[in-house]
């Protein structure tokens, strides 16, 4: 991620609407050349933060720096940022070339400079030859590429994207995720990307900033956020998980009547949730070391293509009334019998994969 692109320092940014806090003391450093994703549910404040970076929204207080320069009062058109809005926001009366060239025209570039940069941007987003098309004659994915070309045509150091793929179907969205990431890697840019789709965030990002209720809840690499969510909201929001009520009493952790092992140092006495990722569970024979064993009955066994999803009702006498989900990959378990509904089974979860959140 060595890069000359500008880094972004966000410090104590707060934005209120009446007595509602859309952003609460958000501090965040986006590194030079980084692809950082703002991830959070609807209404969490993602767009508000992106608009603060773009200059369309002025925070009540706080600071935003691009490199060493304070920009919080600088208007959007002087910030040298490329922006892709959620709804494309293409100009319907202009053709593809005119749309893409518009930011260059605004910057007073000569006709030949505009032409050259538009051709380059068209080629980067793989739309060569479509410059003369009208916007109405494009597919959703092509419109998205035009919006992207328009955002990068003037080679901004910072690219902001607000849910740019949300209108596309799943297959195209997944293709574009990879393309956008490759594009970021091939240009000298710091990218801030907004999505509420956790899979998209995990796929594309160097780091993810999880936002909820206008606050930054956790910042880390996709792997860190997935394997070490620091609270129940994040454990639930990112990836699949079963969250089972657990208790800590005198340094021991209990699920119902059974003591279980956890990966981290014991927590203070109190109520917690044990986070179980469905793919971390395995069919156990009882001889595994450092493994929590859960016995129960298969309530549901559902074929889902690449995997089999099992819903297991745990033995209430040992674990209390709770169910958990388990995912068995199809293909790697050739010769292994897939458990069926009604079957009694024992599943294992390694101590290293067992952790509590509040
Ligand atoms: N101009 C405004 N006036 C009043 N409230 C606003 C205004 N703009 C945003 N809000 C509120 O601030 C909160 C955060 O809005 P924001 O658009 O940042 O959410 P978001 O995370 O982008 O959500 P989504 O995923 O639905 O796009 C919401 O509760 C929203 O209703
Ligand atoms: Mg939004």
Q: Read off the DSSP letter of residue 287.
A: -
Closest C-alpha residue for ligand 1 atom 22: 47
Q: Indicate if 150 and 292 belong to the same structural domain.
A: no
pLDDT at 334: 55
Distance CA 274, CA 181 (A): 34
- Which of 14, 39, 47, 56 for a ligand 1 pocket mutation test, highest count of atoms within 8 Å of Cβ? 47
Closest C-alpha residue for ligand 1 atom 2: 17
Between the CA of 9 and the centroid of ligand 1 the distance, in Å, is 22
Q: Which backbone phi and psi does 31 adopt, to 5 degrees? A: -75, 160
Between the CA of 22 and the centroid of ligand 1 the distance, in Å, is 7
- CA of 45, closest atom in ligand 1: 18
Q: Indicate if 122 and 32 belong to the same structural domain.
A: yes
Q: Indicate if 71 and 135 belong to the same structural domain.
A: yes
Closest C-alpha residue for ligand 1 atom 11: 22
- CA of 22, closest atom in ligand 1: 12
Q: Which ligand is nearest to the CA of 48?
A: 1
Q: Indicate if 274 and 207 belong to the same structural domain.
A: no
Tell me which of 232, 265, 289 is where a domain ends. Answer: 232
Assigned domain for 156 exists? yes
Q: Indicate if 267 and 179 belong to the same structural domain.
A: no
Q: Which residues line ligand 1 (CB under 6 A)?
A: 17, 22, 40, 42-48, 196
Distance CA 288, CA 333 (A): 18
In three-state secondary structure terms, 310 is strand
Q: Indicate if 176 and 277 belong to the same structural domain.
A: no
In three-state secondary structure terms, 83 is strand
User: Counting every residue, how long is the chain?
Assistant: 358
Q: Indicate if 186 and 313 belong to the same structural domain.
A: no
Q: Indicate if 31 and 115 belong to the same structural domain.
A: yes
Assigned domain for 177 exists? yes
Tell me which of 232, 267, 289 is where a domain ends. Answer: 232
Assigned domain for 237 exists? no
Assigned domain for 315 exists? yes
The pairing of strands 81-84 and 291-303 is: unpaired
User: For residue 254, what is the domain's CATH number?
Assistant: 2.40.50.140
- Which of 19, 39, 46 for a ligand 1 pocket mutation test, highest count of atoms within 8 Å of Cβ? 46
Q: Indicate if 321 and 191 belong to the same structural domain.
A: no
Q: Indicate if 183 and 91 belong to the same structural domain.
A: yes
Assigned domain for 162 exists? yes
Residue 303 domain boundaries:
242-357
What is the b/e burial string over 4-15, where b = at least 16 CB atoms within 10 angstroms of the residue's CB?
ebbbbbbbebbb
User: For residue 218, what is the domain's CATH number?
Assistant: 3.40.50.300
Assigned domain for 246 exists? yes
Q: Give the DSSP letter string of 6-40.
A: PPEEEEEEEEEETTEEEEEEEEEEEPTT-EEEEE-
pLDDT at 332: 62
For the entire predicted model, the pTM comes to: 0.88
Q: Indicate if 327 and 222 belong to the same structural domain.
A: no
What is the b/e burial string over 300-313, where b = at least 16 CB atoms within 10 angstroms of the residue's CB?
ebeeeeebbebbbe
Distance CA 199, CA 239 (A): 8
Q: Indicate if 209 and 269 belong to the same structural domain.
A: no
pLDDT mean values, one per 10 residues, the chain (358 residues): 80 97 98 97 96 96 97 92 85 94 93 95 89 91 90 93 87 87 92 95 97 97 93 92 95 96 94 95 91 96 90 95 92 71 95 94
Assigned domain for 3 exists? no
Burial tier of 57 (Cβ tally within 10 Å: 0-12, 13-18, 19+): middle
Closest C-alpha residue for ligand 1 atom 3: 17
Q: Please, where are the H alpha helices in the chain?
A: 46-54, 96-106, 111-124, 140-152, 170-186, 198-204, 222-227, 232-237, 316-319
- Specify whether the CB–CB gap between 281 and 324 falls below 8 A: yes
Between the CA of 86 and the centroid of ligand 1 the distance, in Å, is 14
For the CA atoms of 106, 108, 111, 114, the dihedral, rounded to the nearest 10 degrees, stands at -60
Closest C-alpha residue for ligand 1 atom 28: 43
Tell me which of 194, 211, 232 is where a domain ends. Answer: 232
Distance CA 309, CA 174 (A): 23
- CA of 49, closest atom in ligand 1: 18
Assigned domain for 1 exists? no
For the chain, what is the domain count?
2
pLDDT at 225: 94
- Specify whether the CB–CB gap between 283 and 312 falls below 8 A: no
- Which of 26, 41, 43, 160 for a ligand 1 pocket mutation test, highest count of atoms within 8 Å of Cβ? 43
């Amino acid at each position: 991620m060595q890069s000359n692109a500008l880094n972004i320092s966000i410090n104590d940014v707060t934005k209120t609407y009446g007595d509602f806090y859309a952003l609460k003391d958000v501090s965040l450093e986006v590194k030079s050349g980084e692809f950082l994703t703002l991830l959070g549910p609807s209404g969490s404040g993602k767009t508000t933060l992106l608009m603060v970076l773009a200059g369309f929204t002025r925070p009540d207080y706080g600071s935003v720096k691009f490199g060493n320069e304070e920009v919080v009062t600088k208007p959007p058109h002087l910030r040298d940022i490329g922006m892709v809005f959620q709804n494309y926001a293409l100009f319907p009366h202009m053709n593809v070339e005119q749309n893409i060239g518009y930011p260059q025209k605004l910057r007073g570039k000569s006709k030949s400079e505009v032409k050259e940069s538009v051709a380059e941007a068209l080629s980067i987003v793989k739309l060569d030859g479509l410059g003369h098309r009208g916007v109405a004659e494009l597919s959703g994915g092509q419109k998205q590429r035009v919006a992207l070309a328009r955002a990068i045509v003037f080679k901004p150091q910072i690219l902001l994207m607000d849910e740019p793929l949300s209108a596309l179907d799943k297959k195209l969205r997944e293709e574009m995720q990879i393309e956008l990431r490759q594009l970021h890697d091939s240009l000298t840019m710091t990218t801030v990307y907004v999505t509420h789709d956790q899979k998209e965030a995990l796929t594309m990002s160097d780091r993810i900033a999880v936002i909820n209720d206008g606050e930054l809840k956790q910042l880390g690499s996709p792997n860190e956020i997935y394997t070490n969510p620091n609270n129940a909201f994040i454990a639930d929001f990112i990836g699949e998980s079963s969250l089972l009520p657990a208790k800590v009493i005198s340094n021991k952790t209990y699920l119902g009547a059974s003591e279980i092992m956890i990966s981290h140092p014991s927590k203070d006495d109190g109520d917690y949730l044990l986070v179980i990722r469905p793919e971390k569970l395995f069919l156990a024979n009882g001889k595994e070391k450092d493994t929590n064993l859960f016995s129960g009955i298969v309530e549901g066994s559902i074929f889902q293509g690449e995997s089999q999803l099992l819903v297991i009702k745990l033995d209430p006498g040992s674990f209390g009334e709770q169910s958990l989900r388990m995912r068995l990959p199809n293909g790697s378990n050739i010769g292994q019998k897939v458990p069926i509904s009604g079957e009694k089974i024992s599943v294992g979860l390694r101590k290293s994969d067992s952790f509590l959140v509040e």
